[in-house]
Each structure stands twice: as structure tokens, then as C-alpha cells.
Structure 1
Amino acid sequence: MVTIIDTVSNKAKAIDSVSVRPRHPEKAHKPDNPVMRKPDWIRVKAPGSPVYKETRSIVKENNLVTVCEEAGCPNMGECWSQRHASFMIMGETCTRACAFCNVSTGIPNALDPKEPENTGRAVAQMGLKHVVITSVDRDDLADGGAQHFADVIHAIRAASPETTIEVLTPDFLRKDGALEIVVAAKPDVFNHNLETVPSNYLKVRPGARYFHSIRLLQRVKELDPTMFTKSGIMVGLGEERNEILQLMDDLRVAEVDFLTIGQYLQPSKKHHPVLNFVTPDEFKGYETIAYTKGFMLVSASPLTRSSHHAGDDFAKLKAARMTKLGH
């Protein structure tokens, strides 16, 4: 019998009932938003394969945090069973409180100086061909954690030279020079998610600025035109179709190569409600339009997430660039 996991939060509990801890005290005062029942196309199987357990063991042994666990990703069972994992550096406490996010908010701990080395070792132990490195927002740090990102990239290069590296960074808002530090470390893919359309920012992503994020992505291309850039959004947060199409145009002005679009899933009653479930056919429509606007690669589906199939997608990006260049 197949076990079905119905909510992101239940999935996290099923994975590790021992480590359950109170989450989101900063949202405790907020009114409850009933969690909508998911349509059949969003159901996923519970994890549990031997490879999944081995991946989990390596993560724990190296004292690492994964966004897979912290964000309650619905694809975690599939990815970990294929030795894919996205590491979340700089701790598990974020300095912002986005209305959609399942990562805890508060005052973070000091950076772990051993984390770069531990991450590099874990990547080598897992034999990863491609790794995604993301982080919480660290507005408390002078550079937003940019140098720590660079240190992790260098450590992975030293421990596993053949592994390609994708970073999914915060916006480095009001952190002059931070972006330049990360780009100089030469990740293979630079990802920064817009998350939603600009009209939603005040209620969904209040600590961020839409056009700052657009400019961040544009600046990456100015610093290194050869670096692949990537961004993603969630749908189901009350956005209008024409707003999504305008967002696509904004990203193309910034020369972003790769767009991901996935369904927002409400982590708890204290988070922003899901206002609608977008059908697979609607996702296909968005994908088709995005390609006509010039994106090199598009992933649009209910279960699409920034890091899902990232290694395969990187290979597709390289192939698409070669085709574009006529090779």
C-alpha cells in the first residue's frame, strides 16, 4: 500500500518525529488560514528507500542543514532516493518572515567555520555530479553571508572538483559588494527567486524588493556573461495571469536563462493561504509562453521547485546554449 503525504508539514513530521520543534513563533499571533485539500496531481509518495536513508545519514553526520527538510519540500523522497540534496548554509534560522516560507524566523547563531569543509566532504561522500547551495537570509551579517557562500563553493571545488555548483542566494539587500563576492567564486548557475509577482510583495515577501531582485539577476550577467542565471516563482498566491507574463518580460530584460514555476503549498494555518490550485494544463501554457519569450529553459508544473532535477536541468542548459551558438 502506498502511503500518501497530504501536507508539507505532515511530511516533515513523518520524516523525523524525534526532532519536531515549535516553528514560527513570530506567526503565532496571526489568524488561522484553513489549509485547502490538495488535488490528486499534487500527491507524493512517502520516502523510505535505502538510498534515501543513506543520504539522510550523510547529511546528519556532517552536521548539515538541507532546504529539503527545512522547507518541507514535497520532492524530498524522490531527490534523496537519487542522491540529490540541496544544502542550506548559515544555519536554519532566517532574519526575515516571508508569509509563504516554512523556515523558522529569529536571531540566527554565529556562522559555523567548519561548515564549508563539512559541505565539501558531504558532496564528495554522496558522489554528487551537481549540488545546490542555498541559505537563509542573514541580514545580521555585514555582507549578508556572501563570503560564506564563496567559502563553501571553494571547499566543494577542493573536495569534489568534477561537481558542478548551483547557488540559490538571498537578495543581499543593502549589502554593497556582496553579489560580486559570490559571482567571483564562479558557481556554474546563479539562482535567485522572485517568488511571486510584485503586487504580492508587501503581504507575501515584505522584507524584499521586486526590482532589486530583478537588478541583482541583471548584475550577475554584467559581471559574468557566461554564468547561467535562474529564477523562480510560485503560483496560487492570488496573482493574475497578466502579472506572470509581465514578470517573464522583466526577467528576460535581465537576461535570465532559466525560469521555474511551481504551485505554492501552504505549510501551516499560520502561513499565507493557497488561493487557487493551478492545473497541469495551465502550467503547460505558461511553459509554452515562457519559451516564446526567449528563456533558454523552462520548468513549469505543480511540483516544480527551484532545486528539483537541478543536475539534469544544468545539462539541458548547457545543451541549449550550444544549440543557440550553433555548435
Structure 2
Amino acid sequence: MTSKAQPRKPDWLKIKLTTGEPYRELKDMMRSRTLHTVCEEARCPNIYECWANRTATFMILGDICTRACRFCAVKTGLPTELDLQEPERVAEAAEQMGLRHCVVTSVARDDLKDGGASIFAATIQAIRRRLPLCSVEVLIPDFQGDLESLKIVMDANPDILNHNVETVERLSDRVRAKAKYHRSLELLRRAKELKPHIPTKSSLMLGVGETIEEVLQTMDDLRAVDCGILTLGQYLQPTPTHLAVERYVHPDEFARLKEEGLARGFSHVESGPFVRSSYHAHEQVKSAAAAEAGKA
């Protein structure tokens, strides 16, 4: 448990709550299909905006994670759930929402031989059957570095392969549970080797004690493995028992970091206090497609 006093939350971190009819409809639909969303489980600050616009990030493989990262609000423990019908229910929900871009993530399932890769693949395929024009992005765990698990996901041909390094190398062991900085970079590198045409993406949260120089080095490390999309956001402590916020990064600094990322060759950089990995994800698909077209 941390007892460190938090810096005062600045005015730019105020959230406008929008809980109108689309928000309530989407919440009821998720409950009726016993689906989980990372929007709720991770207490994302954008849930009201995104749900009001009928976009959501589905979280498959249950709601109990086998890891206990110090920044994450998702429940941890020993999962008991493995629902083979879940991919079809996710696809049904995506169809009912009329999605044009669908994001699918999961808890870490180190208890499963393939880390849940086969369920990711089945979910991609189910969405494509129901919504052939819908692009599908997956935000995957590291599968403990298992290449065969990664290959299962890549063979299902997601439109974007996302895996988050979360923080800079120096802080990785402190912030993340079991995950390793260089293992994450290796996963992104191997993903591009397996399917060079599929864009890769990663995310950093700021305000956990990193320096700007370390952020720039992380950008360089990601570009070295041909990661093309980057998101940068402010870490917000979900509960008093989680990692403390070291500082709140000003929006002007986020804007400067966006320029640094674009100068390094990322096809798209989403950077701001409330940015999370899947924020404005549909726009990132267009940027990635344009970048790939430019290489041709």
C-alpha cells in the first residue's frame, strides 16, 4: 500500500460526465450478454464520452487477471472462467452497435497454455463474419513471450496489433507485474516479422516518475521494432492502494511529445491527459492505412 500524498489534481483533468440514453443502452446490452469492457473494469476516464458515441473496448477471457500490475484496477486472482461462446457474444454486440472499428483486449491469462490467444483469434473471426467491413484491433498481453501464441493471433489477421509497454524501461519492473520491457519490444518486433502489413501500436502512461529523456528513448526503442502507432496519456491512480501519481503532465507537454513522436516516424500519435490505448482508435486505423499506402 502507498501512503504518499498525491499532487493536487489540475483543472485540465476535469471530466464532463455524459450519461444519456446511448450510455445506458450500451451498459444494459453489455450486462445482458454477460460481457466485460475494459472501459468499466479499468475505470477509464473516457467511458462517458466513448459510450455516449457507441464505442467500447471489449475485454475477453473474464474479468480476473493473473497479474497484479500496480497501476491497474482490474481484479486479480485465479480465473475460473473460460467461455468458448464469448467470441460470438462479442460479435453479436458489435453488430448490434453497428461498429466500424472494434477493439478487443483481455486480462492476462497466464493459467492458459496459449494465454488465451485462440479466444482472441476466434473473436476476430466472429466479428468478421457478422461485420465484414468492421476493422478489428486487438490489445494483447505478452503471452509470456510465447511465439506460437502470438502467431495464432497474427494468423487471424487483425487490422491493428496493439501491445503496451506501459512505461519506460527503468520503471517497468516496478510498475508492471511479470511483464518485461524488452519482452514487450520483442513481441512487437516478431508481430511485424510475422505479418509486415499489419500495423503495430503501443502505449505509455506518464506521471509515474519517468523523465522526458526516458520517454524519448522509449519512442526510439518502439520505432526500432517498427511500431507505427503510439498513444501517450496521464496515469491516474484508480485507488489509494495503487501506484501513486508522481506528477500531472501539462497538455502543452503532451502536445510537444506528439510532435517528437511524429518526427520519429510514427504514423499516428495520440497524446493528451485523457488519452488511453483505444482512445480515437478508429482514427488511428485511417492513419495507419495511409502510412502503409505511402510505403507501397
What's the TM-score, normalizing by structure 1? 0.88
User: 1:209 maps to what in 2?
Assistant: 180
User: 1:155 maps to what in 2?
Assistant: 126
State the Cα distance separating 1:42 from its structure 2 match: 1.3
Q: 2:219 aligns with which of 237, 241, 248?
A: 248
Structure 2 CA distance for aligned equivalents of residues 33 and 306 of structure 1: 27
Structure 2 CA distance for aligned equivalents of residues 174 and 162 of structure 1: 32
User: 2:96 maps to what in 1?
Assistant: 125
Q: 1:70 aligns with which of 35, 41, 47?
A: 41
Residue 93 in structure 1 maps to residue 64 in structure 2: yes
Q: Is the 8 A contact 2:118 2:153 kept in 1?
A: yes
Residue 61 in structure 1 maps to residue 41 in structure 2: no
Q: Is the 8 A contact 2:197 2:292 kept in 1?
A: no
Structure 1 CA distance for aligned equivalents of residues 262 and 156 of structure 2: 30
Q: Is the 8 A contact 2:6 2:246 kept in 1?
A: no
Q: Is the 8 A contact 1:35 1:268 kept in 2?
A: no
Structure 1 counterpart SS, 2:36: coil
Q: Is the 8 A contact 2:2 2:243 kept in 1?
A: no
User: 2:135 maps to what in 1?
Assistant: 164
Q: Is the 8 A contact 1:35 1:266 kept in 2?
A: no
Q: 2:195 aligns with which of 224, 235, 245?
A: 224
Q: 1:315 aligns with which of 283, 286, 293?
A: 286
State the Cα distance separating 1:174 from its structure 2 match: 4.2
Matched AA of 2:192: K
Q: 1:291 aligns with which of 243, 262, 267?
A: 262
Q: Is the 8 A contact 2:229 2:284 kept in 1?
A: no
Structure 2 CA distance for aligned equivalents of residues 187 and 89 of structure 1: 15
User: 1:24 maps to what in 2?
Assistant: none
Structure 2 CA distance for aligned equivalents of residues 33 and 132 of structure 1: 35
Q: Is the 8 A contact 2:145 2:183 kept in 1?
A: no
Structure 2 counterparts to residues 28-43 of structure 1, below 5 A = 30-43=1-14
Structure 2 CA distance for aligned equivalents of residues 203 and 242 of structure 1: 19
1:130-172 per-position Cα deviation (integer Å, ceiling 9, x unaligned): 0100000000000110001001111111121111100000011
Residue 110 in structure 1 maps to residue 81 in structure 2: yes
State the Cα distance separating 1:49 from its structure 2 match: 1.2
Structure 1 CA distance for aligned equivalents of residues 260 and 252 of structure 2: 13
Aligned length: 296
Residue 236 in structure 1 maps to residue 207 in structure 2: yes
Matched AA of 2:86: E
Structure 2 counterpart SS, 1:88: strand
Structure 1 CA distance for aligned equivalents of residues 28 and 156 of structure 2: 29
1:207-233 per-position Cα deviation (integer Å, ceiling 9, x unaligned): 111001001001111001100110000
Structure 2 CA distance for aligned equivalents of residues 34 and 87 of structure 1: 34
What's the TM-score, normalizing by structure 2? 0.97
Matched AA of 2:168: V
Matched AA of 1:206: A
Structure 2 CA distance for aligned equivalents of residues 290 and 80 of structure 1: 29
Structure 2 CA distance for aligned equivalents of residues 101 and 289 of structure 1: 27
Residue 81 in structure 1 maps to residue 39 in structure 2: no
User: 1:266 maps to what in 2?
Assistant: 237
1:2-61 per-position Cα deviation (integer Å, ceiling 9, x unaligned): xxxxxxxxxxxxxxxxxxxxxxxxxxxx24344443211111112311111111122111
- Unmatched tracts of structure 1, length 5 or more: 1-29
Structure 2 CA distance for aligned equivalents of residues 321 and 226 of structure 1: 7
Matched AA of 1:38: K
Residue 325 in structure 1 maps to residue 290 in structure 2: no
Summarize the Cα distance change of 1:304–1:239 in structure 2 as closer, same or farther, 3 Å threshold: same
Structure 2 counterparts to residues 129-144 of structure 1, below 5 A = 129-144=100-115
Structure 1 counterpart SS, 2:102: strand
Matched AA of 2:39: C
Structure 1 CA distance for aligned equivalents of residues 123 and 71 of structure 2: 27
Structure 1 CA distance for aligned equivalents of residues 192 and 173 of structure 2: 28
State the Cα distance separating 1:176 from its structure 2 match: 4.2
1:108-128 per-position Cα deviation (integer Å, ceiling 9, x unaligned): 123111101100100000000
Identity across the alignment (%): 47
Q: 1:199 aligns with which of 170, 174, 197?
A: 170
Structure 2 CA distance for aligned equivalents of residues 50 and 292 of structure 1: 41
